[in-house]
Structure 1
């Protein structure tokens, strides 16, 4: 979008927050870059230039606006609605792969050469993987500087910087302030807006999103299907344990009118960026609800549903492998039975965690741990045991990979080849684990029931044909169809 100058200028002049994260505005006279909705009066159009990423702005020598804080805007919806090289690379960079494995590790995961990966990212985003990871480290550093009392040396290494000098230079270059100045400014703000006290290792963040957002089905689904010991609803917040690259964490997510309140407790602060990215992905916060709803509203049957509660998101996951296991446990059984099966696995094979603020007890067990269990201990039909054991063994030995970098078409084919994996199981994994915005569930009981009540075709083939006009947003259409029912997944818990 950043190449459409006329459209970008209109968005900047109207201070349209819907475009935050889609592109960034750089002012040639001040050498400052902003989000499109920056409240500062925009300069003359001839003094503006536009970039596709904050990293591209920084690489071109612009520093972040202190007023609108463009580094904290929602992410581009492009990276979660595409499955090409650039989109998969961006999801991996957000998951911290460059910091942990370097650019060669990123390229290896994508199945391309380092040179080709760098070339494509540079062509589309105006910055290579190192610059993109550097911008992400700068944002993580800012969060730690402003929300914790950690010594600056600890902030530097927790943010992924290799040295104190690089940390200091980057913060000054990106924010035009020293790390100490950033903390001083944040301290003054905190005194006028005091926050609740936090325990060591705990951070309180605001996760932005593009309005509108209807939280009912988003949180309702997560809570209604929650695995005991791993997830819970407590004091108005969805809470769960997180398995992270350097340790583990517990997150509490609370819906607010203009953001999601996020309270993270981490055993290792180096996991902050990854934890935040996974929570955003789980709640689908980088979606573009205006574009999605506009297309779905064009269907006269869906229009009333969209108008009633616009901005529905697809509830996703923080762990793709975990969700695939739970999808198999949920085959042809009730939600309550699936939760019971999952809870037993957690108790027997999950890793214990300490949760002094609630009732969470374990991390969900890894595929490697589940691959070693006795199949006879599974209280399910023999055919489903085979489905379960085949899935976890392939996940454990690496012959099946599920992650933010998964190629959607290839992964669907691999899943369909497994015993006991039919279209419903594959599509629900594609929708909620892989993040395919066009995944569709025409055989789902709730979808078919909603279709009948709305006068839509209810047979899978006919409904799939009727849904062609909803593409590429059929996963969101499913949320609106599910919302017509009285199942607990559709209601925000009290």
Structure 2
């Protein structure tokens, strides 16, 4: 979008927050870059330059605006929408792969050479993977400096910097202030009251956001010991690269309140990225709703409660296991099966602030079990064993950098995995915005109630007008049912 100068100018002049994260505006006369919705008076058009990423603006020598904080804007929705190489690379960079494994590790995960990855990412984003990871490190550092009281040295290494000197130089270069000055300028009360060891953050999103089905679904399907709804917040345990964590997420009108307790601060950026993916916070709800509203049967649903998101997951392997446990059983039964699995094979943790007790067992741990020890029907046991073996061996990849179509094909080839399971995993684990479940009984019942085709084949044909947002159409259709997944739970 940054190459469409006229469109970018209109967005900046109207301070249109819908385009925050789509592109960045650099101002030649001040040497700063901003988000499109920056509240300051827009500069003259001839003094503006547009960049596709914060990293590209930083590489060009511009500092982040201290007022609009462009580095903290919602991410571009295209990295979740798209399934091409650059989108897969961006999802992996956000998950911290470059910091942990370097660009060669990123390339290996994607199955391309380092040179190919560098060239394609730079061509589209104006900066290479290292620069994009550096921009993310700077944002993580800023969060730690401004919203916590952790020592600067801890903030530097937690953000991924190799030395205090590099940390200081990068923060000063990007934000125009030293880390100490950033902390001093932080708004009073920005270090929110929280229990010791807990970080309190705000996760931005594009409006509107309807929290009902999003948090309702997560709460209604919560696995005992791993997830819970407590005091108006969805809480769950997180298995992370360097350790584990507990997150509490509370919907607010302007943001999602996020409280994180981590055993290793180096997991901060990855934990935030996973929470944003789970809540689908980088979506463009106006684009989704505008297209779906063109269907006369869906329009009243969207007008009544716009901004529905697709509830996703923080752990794709975990969700695949849970999808198998949920085949052809009720929500309550699926929770019971998963809870038993967690209690028997999950890793215990401490949760001083609530009732969480375990991490969901990893695919490797489940693959090492004696199948006869799993208390479930033989056919379901065989399906579960096939899935966890494929995940643990690397035959099946469901991570953020996975090729969605390849993952679909490999999942479908496993015994006991039908189209419903494949599409539910594609929707919630792979994050495919066009995933569609035409055989789902609840979906077909909702479609029939609205006068839409109710048979799978006819529904597939009709759904062509909803592409590429069919996963969102599913959320609107499911929401017509009076089910706990469609409403916020009572405290």
Fold-level similarity (TM above 0.5): yes
Alignment partners' CA distance in 2, 1:491 and 1:341: 23
1:372 corresponds in structure 2 to 368
1:113 corresponds in structure 2 to 113
Per-residue deviation, 1:169: 0.5
- TM value normalised by structure 1: 0.98
2:340 corresponds in structure 1 to 344
Alignment partners' CA distance in 2, 1:392 and 1:69: 43
1:265 corresponds in structure 2 to 261
SS at match of 1:250: strand
Q: Deviations over 1:284-340 (max 9, x none)?
A: 000000000000000000000000000000000000000000000000111111101
Per-residue deviation, 1:383: 1.3
Alignment partners' CA distance in 1, 2:394 and 2:431: 20
Q: Deviations over 1:411-469 (max 9, x none)?
A: 10000100011000000000000000000010001100001100111100000001100
Contact 2:147–2:190, Cα closer than 8 Å, also in 1? no
Q: 1:128 aligned to 2:128?
A: yes
Contact 1:215–1:312, Cα closer than 8 Å, also in 2? yes
Per-residue deviation, 1:376: 2.3
Per-residue deviation, 1:402: 1.3
Contact 1:145–1:183, Cα closer than 8 Å, also in 2? yes
Which consecutive residues of structure 2, in runs of 5 or more, have no partner in the other structure? none
Q: 1:36 aligned to 2:32?
A: no
Q: 1:73 aligned to 2:73?
A: yes
Superposition pairs of residues 36-185 of structure 1, within 5 angstroms: 36-185=36-185
1:215 corresponds in structure 2 to 211
SS at match of 1:434: coil
Per-residue deviation, 1:381: 2.1
Alignment partners' CA distance in 2, 1:394 and 1:199: 40
Q: 1:200 aligned to 2:192?
A: no
Alignment partners' CA distance in 2, 1:452 and 1:377: 42
Contact 2:25–2:36, Cα closer than 8 Å, also in 1? yes
Alignment partners' CA distance in 2, 1:442 and 1:381: 26
Alignment partners' CA distance in 2, 1:100 and 1:374: 33
Per-residue deviation, 1:196: 4.6
Alignment partners' CA distance in 2, 1:427 and 1:36: 36
Alignment partners' CA distance in 1, 2:116 and 2:211: 40
Per-residue deviation, 1:282: 0.2
Contact 2:146–2:190, Cα closer than 8 Å, also in 1? no
Alignment partners' CA distance in 2, 1:74 and 1:457: 37
Which shifted more, 284-293 or 372-381? 372-381
Deviating beyond 6 angstroms after TM superposition, the runs of 4 or more aligned structure 1 residues are none
Contact 2:346–2:359, Cα closer than 8 Å, also in 1? yes
1:461 corresponds in structure 2 to 457
Contact 1:201–1:269, Cα closer than 8 Å, also in 2? no
**CA RMSD of superposed structures (Å):** 0.8
SS at match of 2:379: helix
Per-residue deviation, 1:200: 3.2
Alignment partners' CA distance in 2, 1:238 and 1:195: 21
